[in-house]
Structure 1
Amino acid sequence: MGSYIAYLTRGELLEDKREASLIQRESAIFVIINERLYRRGFSSPLLRCLTTSQAQRVMDEVHGGMCGSHIGGRALVYKGARAGYFWPTLRNDCVNWVQKCDECQRHATLHHSPAERLHSILSPWPFNKWGIDILGPFPIAVRQLKFLVVAVDYFNKWIEAEPVATISAEKIRTFLWKNSNGQAESANKVILSGLKKRVQDSGASWVEELPRVLWSYHTTIHSSTQDTPFNLVYGTDAMIPIEIAEPSVRTTAFSEEESDQGRRVDLDLITETRERARINQVAAQRRAAFKYNTKVVPRDFVVGDLVLKRAQLTQMRNKLSPKWVDPYKIDDVVGKMSLPTENLGWRDDIENLERCKSTLLL
């Protein structure tokens, strides 16, 4: 703005011919009134031109001053322009000012979009790769059982579950890293849903009901493989109990000799059955990844960045408490979704990418 004032008042131009020519052309839309520079505008006849310090004062007052409510960047731009102010970088400065506002960052809306693209885990053959997780605590059952260790095979979705009485801290630390065993967590939902619908009000019978829930799971066709886990493991479909009470065709026409011969044929064809299931699984994972990735809003952090963490419920005392806390400094980037962080000298932690947002300091 000083170059226009010098040209309009004293006729002085910069030594750079290109800049001097630009000032001469644009000077027609500027005018000096009472030693103040104004620019002809569209929202109002004249816009007051501000220096850097004056612009910062205006943004501070409009955004968080006496009558400010910490409005967003776009609203701050329009409010400043409608008030009759102008400077060359008004839009960018207003947006950056809001991004650097500590109160705005700590009370920012929680983001629900995924931060990283979906990375599917493939298993080349049955029982090659397992996902392990721990469920509980459940209502205390016989032998003081209240936890459930769940292991699920990534290929055929076969589940092994073992009720236990206690879980050591070392095992919990090994098994329970958030989102580390997505396949096990998916199986957990099925097990929990089945147990909730079968147990009584006390819930103490969950151990007795567990085998029935697992049997139902193993004999049900899965949408990803288009087959049952039982068939992919043993090469044949299991007979369900109702076929004994209400005889089906295969029970009434059962022949032990033909059954043995058919069983051998099934074992010869099991490799083809598993390969078809693997193809179906890959196709399902690609469809899921395509749908998931359309919602991704990437959040890339590097070592040294300052980030805010999503506040826990215990940290939010009331409705006006901030949704984001600290900031933390990133010490390292581990894998795709884990960020070792340092609470500016307080403590170290490993945080999930989904719970972090970048922060800017003035």
Structure 2
Amino acid sequence: YLKDRTLPEGKDEARKMRMRSAKFIIIGDELFKRGISTPLLKCLTASQAAYVIKEIHQGICGMHSGARSMATRVLRVGYYWPTLKWNCQSHIQKSKEFQQFGNAHRQPPEALHRMMSAWPFSQWGMDILGPFPPAKGQLKFLLVAIDYFTKWIEACPLTKITTENMQKFTWKNITNGQAEAANKVILRELKKRLEDAKGQWPDELSSILWAYHCTPQSATQETPYRLTYGTDAMIPVEVRETSHRRQIFNSEQNAQELAADLDLVDELRDEAQIHEEACKLRASRRYNTRVRPRSFRVGDLVWRLLGEARKDTSDGKLAPTWGGPF
């Protein structure tokens, strides 16, 4: 259009061409764009643009920067083409150095999948905690199981992890995110109670589980003990410092109240389930705001995150973040 004033046939397209052409000028045989950051920007062909990107990114004075920073450098030098930023982004993402030394992704790759249990003790999660300092009987491991509905915990100290031990525990007491959460509670309490006597951790286990069972959980708003047995347990402090319910205790009336609690326990569990579903829904919404979807197809090459054990120690701080591609 700038050379021979030829316009497209469509009225709207012709108007668009006239408006866009005002930003360009021909000097000699070269097309330039009137820039804002730089007065005149030389317009490049696809092959010229590819060379400029490669030289600015990987040349002698090149720098492995981000897409916007790279596009800004191209503009400051005095070059332009319509897909400048997209080409910079595409070139950087395909660069081996960018992939091999790029930061590890901390965002979750997919949305959170909520797990719900329909009724008490229908679904359990199991996990192994340890090894601990050897205790009496050479106990070193702790097998933990938690009911997804009531949050009731069963735990068993073991000398070693075997198929037979796992089967015995499962048949006696009865997958894994809630068990891991229970592990954190148990481990935190063991650390606080044992201090220097690390080998006595099995002796503290029963009191820790009792305290946990009598503590209201944020998800259900109830104690695991009440969701299991229909009523709250009497805790030791009520024995020495007499509570109100101990002062007015009547054995006959107490038996009637316990029977009534058992009749009403289903309603109590339904309310707890509603609280838990609402709590998990809020948690999943917060979690899903950080999701960065990633998908792979059969035949794709992938990079593996290198942990400290896989890194070459001679590289020191210059060691790559990723290994491969595989």
TM-score, length basis structure 2: 0.86
| Distance (whole Å) between structure 2 residues aligned to residue 90 and residue 225 of structure 1 | 54
Aligned residues: CA RMSD: 2.8
TM-score, length basis structure 1: 0.78
Residue 56 of structure 2 is aligned to residue 62 of structure 1: yes
Q: Give the residue type in structure 2 aligned to 1:246.
A: E
Name the counterpart of 1:182.
177
Q: Secondary structure at the match of 1:57?
A: helix
Question: CA 1:238–1:21 in structure 2 vs 1: closer, same or farther (change >3 Å)?
Answer: closer
Q: Secondary structure at the match of 2:109?
A: coil
Question: CA 1:169–1:53 in structure 2 vs 1: closer, same or farther (change >3 Å)?
Answer: farther
Q: Secondary structure at the match of 1:300?
A: coil
Question: CA 1:55–1:232 in structure 2 vs 1: closer, same or farther (change >3 Å)?
Answer: same
Q: What is the CA distance between 1:36 and its match in structure 2? A: 4.4
Question: CA 1:268–1:40 in structure 2 vs 1: closer, same or farther (change >3 Å)?
Answer: closer
Name the counterpart of 1:250.
245
Q: What is the CA distance between 1:95 and its match in structure 2? A: 1.1
| Distance (whole Å) between structure 2 residues aligned to residue 267 and residue 24 of structure 1 | 80
Question: CA 1:255–1:49 in structure 2 vs 1: closer, same or farther (change >3 Å)?
Answer: same
Name the counterpart of 1:303.
298
Which of 108, 111, 122 is the equivalent residue of 1:117?
A: 111
Q: What is the CA distance between 1:170 and its match in structure 2? A: 11
| Distance (whole Å) between structure 1 residues aligned to residue 117 and residue 258 of structure 2 | 26
Residue correspondence of structure 1 range 152-171 to structure 2 within 5 A = 152-168=146-162
Q: How many pairs does the alignment contain?
A: 311
Name the counterpart of 2:322.
324
More strand by share: 1
| Distance (whole Å) between structure 1 residues aligned to residue 246 and residue 205 of structure 2 | 27
Q: Secondary structure at the match of 2:207?
A: helix
Unaligned runs of 5+ in 1: 173-179, 328-342, 344-362
Name the counterpart of 1:286.
281
Question: CA 1:233–1:21 in structure 2 vs 1: closer, same or farther (change >3 Å)?
Answer: closer
Name the counterpart of 1:75.
69
Question: CA 1:23–1:259 in structure 2 vs 1: closer, same or farther (change >3 Å)?
Answer: closer
Which of 218, 227, 241 is the equivalent residue of 1:223?
A: 218
| Distance (whole Å) between structure 1 residues aligned to residue 216 and residue 210 of structure 2 | 12
What per-residue deviation string (whole Å, max 9, x for no partner) do you get for residues 52-109 of structure 1?
Answer: 2322221112112212220100011111011001223222111111111111122222
Q: What is the CA distance between 1:119 and its match in structure 2? A: 1.3
| Distance (whole Å) between structure 2 residues aligned to residue 22 and residue 81 of structure 1 | 27
Which of 97, 110, 114 is the equivalent residue of 1:103?
A: 97
Which of 190, 193, 196 is the equivalent residue of 1:195?
A: 190
Q: Which moved more, 1:253-262 or 1:224-233?
A: 253-262
Name the counterpart of 2:88.
94
Residue 125 of structure 2 is aligned to residue 127 of structure 1: no
Name the counterpart of 2:264.
269
Structure 1 vs Structure 2: percent identity of aligned residues? 48
Residue correspondence of structure 1 range 32-71 to structure 2 within 5 A = 32-33=27-28, 36-71=30-65
| Distance (whole Å) between structure 2 residues aligned to residue 214 and residue 55 of structure 1 | 67
Which of 207, 232, 236 is the equivalent residue of 1:241?
A: 236
Check the 8 A contact 1:139/1:202 in 2, yes or no. no
Question: CA 1:27–1:250 in structure 2 vs 1: closer, same or farther (change >3 Å)?
Answer: closer
What per-residue deviation string (whole Å, max 9, x for no partner) do you get for residues 284-326 of structure 1?
Answer: 1112122222222222333333332322122343222222222
| Distance (whole Å) between structure 1 residues aligned to residue 296 and residue 91 of structure 2 | 21
Question: CA 1:181–1:171 in structure 2 vs 1: closer, same or farther (change >3 Å)?
Answer: farther
Question: CA 1:168–1:53 in structure 2 vs 1: closer, same or farther (change >3 Å)?
Answer: farther
| Distance (whole Å) between structure 1 residues aligned to residue 15 and residue 278 of structure 2 | 59
| Distance (whole Å) between structure 2 residues aligned to residue 115 and residue 291 of structure 1 | 14
